[in-house]
Amino acid sequence: MNSLDAFAEQKLAALEAGALRRRLTTTGRGPDSAATRGGRAMVSFSCNDYLGLSQHPRVIAAAQAAVAAHGAGAGGSRLVTGNHAILGELETRLAAHKGKEAAMVFGSGYLANLGITPALAGSGDLVLLDDLSHACMWAGARLSGARVLTFRHNDMDDLRSVLAANRAGHGRALLLTERIFSMDGDRAPMDDILSIARDFDAWTLVDDAHGLGVIEDGPRAPLEMGTLSKSLGSYGGYLCASRAVIDLLTSRARSFIYTTGLPPASAAAALEALVILEEEPDRCARPLALARRFTARLGLPEAESAVVPVLVGEAQQALDLSAQLEAEGFLVVAIRPPTVPAGTARLRVAFSAAHSESQVDALSEAVARLTAG
Ligand code: PMP
């Protein structure tokens, strides 16, 4: 065996030994949260399609019309020839939705975070993250070359004391958090974060990947990023901010500049989804209502968002519970370290406007039964 493959085999064996090796499973998706795996039909409680819009006839029709009119791909980076008019329309609508002057669409939410932080902070600056922040916020922070520190999850005393001890001696300071945490479904105390940021002359970037269209209350941060791939049912990422910031990032965010523009179909689907999101408040209220129905039935702490963790503990137990649910027709994936801290393996249950009350009740009954005793 050559040394490259030997290296890969050795690393894989170590991952296997730590129950950390990941494998892909093919999943088919359809309307009404339907999913298929290995020929088995299931109800998915693992999609981030919170409003069911990835399957909405109007969203599908918008994507199809854009492919037919403009082709499958953008054909170039946005600063060259890939800046399709639909992207501009989408940006105008996103900015208006967030009450900001301007917006920019990136290739994905991951790429957005990879581009935003390094464009705003660098050597001599301070980047401070909630310690449960998403992997792509960490990636952007590290890439920036700024000093990177963390504060304990949603702990405002800790945030204040880390800033008090470290703010001096740095040029700019940037706070990074998520409005809704992706694996715990809890909310960041945005009022407090923004006020602490003001006290310490720091800027705030909030990742709203799991909030848009589901949890819309609370103050806005100066930098509001997110994804087009969850409640908007499409693909891509965005940042909403002031015109000056967006103009600066257009010239400085490397993950925006050196990558191909979003396919017109993805932009058109996201734009139509955003129109529906704004037209249908009842649809937007459903994921949280269903999540609360589920937590009430199981006696869990009341859901704060469309995401509910059912904590299990060890990775294998979470995998076993997920497999048992799958056998009963519920797709609820297990989330394990290193995605979440050791000892907190869990089922991550994601609710969608496309679920029915009876589907939610059937899942709660199954979880209660399988975790009893
Ligand atoms: N931020 C958060 C909080 C996320 O959960 C995700 C997706 N899992 C992303 C960013 C990345 O977004 P995208 O899938 O568009 O790359």
Our mutation pick for probing the ligand 1 site, out of 49, 104, 108, 110, counting the most ligand atoms within 8 A of Cβ, is 110
pLDDT of the residue at 18? 83
pLDDT digits 0-9 by tens, 233-266: 999 999 999 999 999 999 999 999 999 999 999 9
Sequence ranges of the domains in the chain: 25-54+281-371, 74-262
Question: Using 50, 70 and 90 to split pLDDT, how confident is the model at 20?
Answer: confident
Q: In what order do the strands lie in the sheet with 40-44?
A: 28-29, 34-37, 40-44, 330-331
Alpha carbon distance 271, 29 (integer Å)? 21
Q: What pLDDT score was predicted for residue 180?
A: 98
Could you tell me the pLDDT band of residue 282, with boundaries at 50, 70 and 90? very high
> CATH number for the 25-54+281-371 domain, one of 3.40.50.2300, 3.90.1150.10, 3.30.70.360, 2.40.37.10?
3.90.1150.10
- For 120-129, the pLDDT digits (tens) are 999 999 999 9
What pLDDT sits at residue 19? 78
Any atom of ligand 1 within 6 Å of the Cβ of 209: yes
| pLDDT at residue number 339 | 86
CA atoms of 91 and 109, how far apart (whole Å): 14
Query: pLDDT tens digits for 85-104?
Result: 999 999 999 999 999 999 99
pLDDT at 373 over 80: no
CATH number of the 74-262 domain: 3.40.640.10
pLDDT band, very low/low/confident/very high, at 171 (cuts 50, 70, 90): very high
**What is the CA(196)–ligand 1 centre distance, in A?**
25
* pLDDT above 80 for 115: yes
Percentage of the chain lying above the pLDDT 90 cut:
95
The model carries a pTM of 0.96
User: Using a 6 Å cutoff on CB, does residue 138 contact ligand 1?
Assistant: no
- Can you tell me the distance from the alpha carbon of 275 to that of 239, in angstroms, rounded to the nearest whole number? 18
Is residue 116 within 8 Å of 253, Cβ to Cβ?
yes
Q: How confident is residue 109, by pLDDT bands cut at 50, 70 and 90? A: very high
* Pocket flag, ligand 1, residue 179 (CB < 6 Å): no
Mind telling me the catalytic residues?
48, 134, 178, 182, 207, 210, 230
What pLDDT is stored for residue 105 in this prediction?
A: 98
Give pLDDT, residue 131.
95
| Residues sharing a CB contact under 8 Å with residue 332, sequence separation 6 or more, in sequence order | 45, 46, 322, 325, 326, 347, 348, 349, 363
Question: What is the percent of the chain where pLDDT is above 70?
Answer: 100
What does the DSSP assignment read for 26-67?
--EE-STTEEEETTEEEEES----TTSGGG-HHHHHHHHHHH
ipTM, two decimals, is: 0.99
Do residues 287 and 306 lie in contact, with contact meaning Cβ atoms separated by under 8 Å?
Answer: yes
**Each residue of 142-169: pLDDT tens digit?**
999 999 999 999 999 999 999 999 999 9
- Over residues 29-65, the pLDDT tens digits come to 999 899 999 899 999 999 999 999 999 999 999 999 9
* 135 CA distance to ligand 1 middle (Å): 9
182 lines ligand 1 (CB under 6 A): yes
